[in-house]
Amino acid sequence: TENEMSFLPQKEEKHPSRCPDNSAFKQQKLPAWKPQLTIATVLSTFFLTGAFCLSVGICLILSANSVREVQIDYSDKCSDCSKLRENSSNWNKECHCSVNFTLKEDILGDVFMYYGLQNFYQNHRRYVISRSDAQLLGQNVNIEKSYCAPFTTYRNGTPMAPCGAIANSMFNDTIDLFYNLKSSVIQVPLLKTGNSWWTDKNVKFHNPKAYNLSSAFAGTARPPYWWKPVYLLDEEDERNNGYLNDDFIIWMRVSAFATFRNLYRRVHRIRQFADGLPAGNYTFHISYNFPVTRFKGRKHVILSTVVWSGGSNPFLGIAYVVSGGAATLTGFVITAIHLKLRKKKTYFQK
C-alpha cells in the first residue's frame, strides 16, 4: 500500500559537490610572502623614490631649457588678409603677407618649423569622430554610413574625399622662410616629407589602388573648404600626395587642447644652413588662407630645436620634481612621527 511504501528506505539523489578540488592552488595552500613593513623599509622607499624623481625632474627641466625656440605671432601682422578671409565670397582670392624677425644667435642643429593655433578646439566629441578610417585606408566604402555627416556628399550625390569635419578644416596656410643678406635674399630649404609618424604613413593611411591618383579619386570631390582635390595636395612629389600627404596626416591627429602646435617643415641642412640657422634677419612669406578671427583664435609660427627629451615643454620635469618633493617630504614627516612616538614609548617604559 501507499502507507507501507512511504516507510521503505528511498534512494537519495546525488548532487554535484561544490567543494573545490584538493589541490594546493584551489585550497589556497601555496607558499606566500607577506611583506613586513618596518620603519627602515618604509623610509628608504620614500627617500629613494624622492631622490629618483627629483634627479630625473631636474634633468628634464635642464634639457627643456636648453631648447632654442623662436615664436612669431602673425595674426595681427596679417590682419588685412584676415579680414579678406572672413568674407566667404573671397575664397578664391589669394592674399600674402610678410613677417620680419631677427635671430640674435645661431640656432645650431636640426631646426623644426611648427604652426601653432590658439583657441581652436579639436576635442569636441562630434568633431573627433567625424572621419572615415576605412576611406583613409583607401577602401571603397559607403561614407554615408560613417560619422562624416554633414561632410559626406554634395547635393548631386558626389562623395567627398576625404570626408568629415576634421579633413574639411585642414590648416592650409603656406609658409616660406627667407634669409636676408645685405646683397641677396636666400630662401631657406625646407623638407615637407618625413614629418609624420611611421605608423600613420605606413599603416593608417593608404591611397586607393589605381593606375594614377587622379583615376583613383575619380567620381569624388574635394571637401567644401579645400582649394584643390586631395590628389593635388603635392604636385611635385607623387609619394606625398593623396591620403599620404604629410600635412594632411599630421592634421588628422587631433589635439586634446585648444592651444596646440603641429610640425610643418624641417630645415634642410645644406649650403649656408648645414649647421642650422645662422644669426641674422629673416622673413616669413605667408599665403594666408586659414581664418581664425570668428572664433577669436591666434596663429603662430615656431622655429625650434629638439633634445633627447623632446621639445621645449617643462611640464614632465615639473611633474617629476613635484612628485619627488612630495615623496621626500612624506619621508621626513614619517621620520618625525616615528621619533616622537619612540620618545613617548621610552618615557612610559621608565
pLDDT of residue 73: 92
pLDDT tens track for 267-319: 999 988 999 999 999 999 999 999 888 888 999 999 999 888 888 888 899 99
- Give the residue extent of every domain in the chain: 56-315
| Chain centre to alpha carbon of residue 264 | 14
pLDDT of residue 345: 64
Main-chain dihedrals φ then ψ at residue 210, nearest 5 degrees: -165, 175
C-alpha to C-alpha distances, 61 to 56, 57, 314, 320, nearest whole angstrom = 9, 6, 5, 10
Residue 89 has pLDDT above 80, yes or no: no
Specify the pTM. Answer: 0.81
pLDDT of residue 55: 95
- Looking at per-residue pLDDT, the higher value among 320 and 8 belongs to 320
Residue 333 has pLDDT above 90, yes or no: yes
Main-chain dihedrals φ then ψ at residue 265, nearest 5 degrees: -145, 165
58, with CB counted inside 10 A (0-12, 13-18, 19+), is middle
Nearest alpha-carbon partner for 76 in 261, 293, 262: 293
pLDDT tens track for 183-232: 889 999 999 999 999 999 999 999 998 888 888 898 899 999 898 899 99
* Axis crossing angle, helix 315-349 with helix 39-65, rounded to the nearest 10: 160
122-151 burial by CB neighbour count: b if 16+ within 10 A, else e? beeeeeeebbbeebbebeeeebeebbbeeb
